[in-house]
Amino acid sequence: MRAGIHPDYKEAIVECACGEKFTTRSTIPKFRLDICSRCHPFFTGKQKIVDAEGRVEKFKKKYAKK
């Protein structure tokens, strides 16, 4: 690697919306996540609909049996 052209790679704090915090290494010092491995449905085994813009309700309304 050439000296002087690479960004600093240091510890970063990652915070999730569920309250989980952990450290990793990155060029960005702080991250905010909507969903992490602690609250993600794939890892928890619980079904949870992650909907930020009302897409699920829009789909249900559009395809509901009348």
Domain ranges of the chain: 10-63
pLDDT the model gives residue 61: 84
The dotted CATH code for 10-63 is 4.10.80.400
Confidence of residue 62 (pLDDT cuts 50, 70, 90): confident
**pLDDT of the residue at 58:** 81
Amino acid (one-letter) located at 51:
D
Exposed / middle / buried, residue 35 (Cβ in 10 Å: 0-12, 13-18, 19+): middle
**Exposed/middle/buried for 12, CB within 10 Å: 0-12, 13-18, 19+?**
middle
pLDDT number for residue 35: 82
Tens digit of pLDDT for each residue in 27-52? Answer: 999 988 888 878 877 666 776 666 66
pLDDT tens, residue by residue, 9-31:
899 999 988 888 999 999 999 98
